[in-house]
Amino acid sequence: MNIIQQVSTTQKAVAFTFDDGPNPEYTPQLLDIFDEVSGRATFFMMGKQIELYPETALDVHIRQHEIGNHTYSHPFMTQISLEECERELLVTDELITQVTGTKPVVMRPPYLDFNEEIQAITDKMGYPVIGSNNGGTRDWEMPGVDHILEVTREQVGCGSILLFHDGFGDRSQTIEAVQILVKELTAQGYQLVTVSELLQMAES
């Protein structure tokens, strides 16, 4: 099975990714943080949230970030039928396309719950499946800004895919940590790119 946790590249570039939005409070704060450094990020959005906050989703697109498919209702995909899996992805694909005029080209399974049967569906839809290499941050558990920073810093390198959350609950620690990381990494000469841009930098 092929979940992409990191991209093999010698270019100094990382992809920040955010799950479970769009969120009208936290997503715009992240957009402002990336604007300050002319960076780009990828937002793995849930269909349900796009229905609630289409204008926030559109803002992400207008500000030239990438939107990925994170299913409609955030199920454990291996615990529902394959028909339901496909519907979760198709409905969200359509919502993203409706709101932004652009089809999503990457997906991330909720909880990174994935198997070969679901891979057949994502292959059919043409989606690379995106994981991350800083899963230990567990930022959704509010472990403290310092914890989020420490775990992420240990994993940063050329081609890192960094996972955070802008949806569900209080994301203020994540916002604070991301603000610090974005400044640090750009100061160190890293480009902040979308997942699709990072995939294009992969060495064959």
> Which residues have a Cβ under 8 Å from the Cβ of 190 and sit 6 or more positions away?
12, 13, 14, 156
The backbone region for 101, taken as left when phi is positive above 0, alpha when psi lies in -120 to 50, beta otherwise, is left
| Bridge partner list, 92 | none
User: Is 70 one of the catalytic residues?
Assistant: no
DSSP letters of 129-179? EE--S-GGG-GGG---HHHHHHHHHHH-STTBEEEEE-SSS--HHHHHHHH
Active site residue 19: yes
Q: How far is 175 from 29, CA to CA, in rounded Å? A: 7
The residue from 65, 70, 74, 165 that is catalytic is 165
CA distance 157 to 155: 6
Q: What is the DSSP string of 36-67?
A: HTT---EEEE-HHHHHH-HHHHHHHHHTT-EE
Give the integer Cα–Cα distance in Å for 80 and 99: 27
* Residue from 19, 93, 139, 166 carrying the catalytic annotation: 19
- Rounded Cα–Cα distance for residues 166 and 153 (Å): 19
As annotated, the active-site residues are 19, 165
